[in-house]
Amino acid sequence: MGRINSSTTLAYNRLHGVEAFPTFHYCLRDGECGMEPLTLRDLFLGKAGNVIRDKPNWWAKFKDDKIWKKWLEELRPLAPNQEITEAMEKYLSDELAYLAETRNLANGIDQALDMTYKSDILIPQSLKEELIACMRPLEDVPENLKDWHPHSNNQVLDLVHPSLYPVVFGKTRLYTNKSLVPCLPHVGGGETVADASVIRKRYKRCLWEANVLSSQFQWLPTYFSIDPATKEVKFEGYINNLHPVQHKKLYFVLEKLMSICLPMFDRVLFDMKHPPRQRAICVSPNWYIEGKEEKEGEEMKEDHGEEGVESEVNSEYEYWGKRNLDIPDAKVFKRPEIDFTSHESEDIGVKNADENAAARNKVTLSDFGRGQVIVKLGNIELTPENPEYPGGDWHLEGMLNERIIATVIYYYDSENITDNHLAFRQSVWTLEDYEQDDSRGFLEIFGLKRDEPAVQDLGYIATKGDRVISFPNLYQHKVSPFSLADRTKPGHRKICVFFLVDPVLPIISTSQVAPQQWDWWRAEIYKLDLFPTLPPEIVKNILDYVDWPMTLEEAKEVRLKFMQERGKYVKLQNEEYYAREFSLCEH
């Protein structure tokens, strides 16, 4: 990946004395930030490696010369000008050899694109079956009780979604010094009201503009702890929108899944602290091979007189436009001085006695021992009458309020749908010291066109059944369209998603907010000795009198406002930041 240029992230770290993980929410609206652009050759090598690592037994087959040559020919159409240089081939081969050597055979985790990972064998079949069984009570409800995501054309079924019953600033109640375990006796309670001004104070000295923060809403994460000996995850509170008693077995399954997925998070976090090296680096844009000296105006006059200056100028411009480009080639592959395998074996970050240095070196969740996660469970359901899913929009996860730094998605059940994938892209900043109006150089080396969006396509990860993927919240991503494979039968895709909150900067969680669901509260109220003795009309009057917690109808109204706000934020990303024109300014 390219280096992240985020003055605001650095400012936050200096201000608070912490080593927060980078996130592009800091960068939005900051004209100085973005990712360092990657050359087209570098982008190709990243995509090519991912394609190869999607092939069965790639770690053995790439060593077969006949198979290797065949794969290279398959990849050639993806290469810049369909050219794979000797240096590019050597780098790709050496990188694959290193990744094959350090590959964990037990969990099958492979690097996908830069800073992203995938595994098709991580989750045991038995645990997958447990998950499917525990999800049935959420799925098998009457049609009128199914929660189809708004504006999804009855295709996206929300089973557990964080946009329902989120923190509503000015309304949601908090407990400050009280354990909410068990949580149900505290439903609807609280000592104070969530205040958005506290959130704004945390970031006010680091942001150019405030529209990366929400003053209205926040998703509710759940605290989890990691046993240092067994590496098992234990949830410390309830999961928003998942009843802790009715779905107790599902809680256990999700804890097991989260435990198994820790290495997927750890790989991403490690890369965020130790970014991968560029494969075909271009430090400064001095990429032309000079053939002759360019002449200044006075020198032209001396040689040709006034009459000859115009023709000489035209000649110089013609020469300037036809100069040969010295396109940066792939470097020699070198093993990283510190990689994830060395962190696993040497326990980097524990040996240093300097507390500040130790904090900076915390790069895995096990190093922290505790964190926050936001859970989402949902299906995409297609039918012969509604057979095509149009895909998603380019977006980052959450807003700065949620501090989401990484995501893990488990595609646990897919049936009768066409191939689909998750695409990634990065926004880039312009290199300095380039030649005046050098559109050609940036186009041929980086694929960046003047006055077009300053973004680079990083590639995509196939999202097939049983696959687990992880990625940082530095890239925008988008779900591809897909449809029924056999249009005479229904089909579906089911996912379990874990959004990881920065462990350095925890946010309001279910350890502070009691459940806000009115029907949960009503069930607890009916357990009181008094209620069975009251006439039904009195009970109804009591229930109708309270204005908190939220009814389902109120929560759905809040969700629409939530989605409207987040939709504007996504529009901001795509129109004013990711669609920011690549500019070659006068200099």
Strand intervals (E) in 362-520: 370-382, 388-389, 404-415, 421-427, 455-462, 468-472, 476-479, 482-483, 491-501
Q: Please, which pLDDT band fits residue 240 given cuts at 50, 70 and 90?
A: very high
pLDDT of amino acid 313: 45
DSSP conformation letters of 95-157? HHHHHHHT--TTT--EE-STT-EEESSSS-HHHHHHHHHHHHHHHSS-GGG--BPTTSTT-EE
Q: Is 68 domain-assigned? A: yes
What are 32's two structure tokens?
């100085």
Sequence letter at residue 314: N
> Quick one: pLDDT band at residue 275, thresholds 50, 70, 90?
confident
pLDDT for 294: 46
- Is residue 337 one of the residues assigned to a domain? no
Separation of alpha carbons 201 and 195, rounded Å:
11
> For residue 550, is it within any domain?
no
Q: Tell me the pLDDT tens digit for each residue of 473-521.
A: 999 999 999 999 999 999 999 999 999 999 998 999 999 999 999 999 8
| 45 occurs within a structural domain | yes
Of the pLDDT bands very low, low, confident and very high (cuts 50, 70, 90), residue 525 is: confident
Domain count, the chain: 1
Pair 236, 223: CB distance under 8 Å: yes
Would you tell me how many other CB atoms lie within 10 Å of the CB of residue 5? 16
CA distance 470 to 195: 32
What pTM did the predictor assign? Answer: 0.88
Residue 427 covered by a domain: yes
Asked if 412 contacts 497 with a C-beta cutoff of 8 angstroms, the reply is no
Task: Tell me the per-residue pLDDT of 92-142, one tens digit each, with 9 for 90 and over.
Answer: 999 999 999 999 999 999 999 999 999 999 999 999 999 999 999 999 999
Position 335 scores a pLDDT of 87
* Residue 68 pLDDT level (bands cut at 50, 70, 90): very high
120 in a domain, yes or no?
Answer: yes
What's the residue count for the chain? 587
CA distance 30 to 395: 18
For residue 326, the one-letter residue type is D
Place 347 in a pLDDT band, splitting at 50, 70 and 90: very low
Question: Percent of the chain, pLDDT > 90?
Answer: 56
Residue range 409-444, pLDDT digits in tens: 999 999 999 999 999 999 887 655 555 556 776 778
Under 8 Å between Cβ of 330 and 87: yes
Read off the pLDDT band of 348 (50, 70, 90).
Answer: very low
Output the average pLDDT for the chain: 83
Residue percentage of the chain with pLDDT more than 70: 77
The reply to whether 560 falls in a domain is: no
Give pLDDT, residue 343: 54
Among all chains, which residue has been given the structure tokens 């990625």?
471
Give the DSSP H/E element, type plus range, for residue 272: helix 248-273
| CA distances, 52 to each of 110, 518, 561 (Å) | 11, 51, 44
Q: Is residue 486 part of a domain?
A: yes
In 3D, which of 48, 2, 49 has the Cα closest to residue 24? 2
Question: Which structural domain, as residue segments, surrounds residue 56?
Answer: 4-164+221-283+364-505
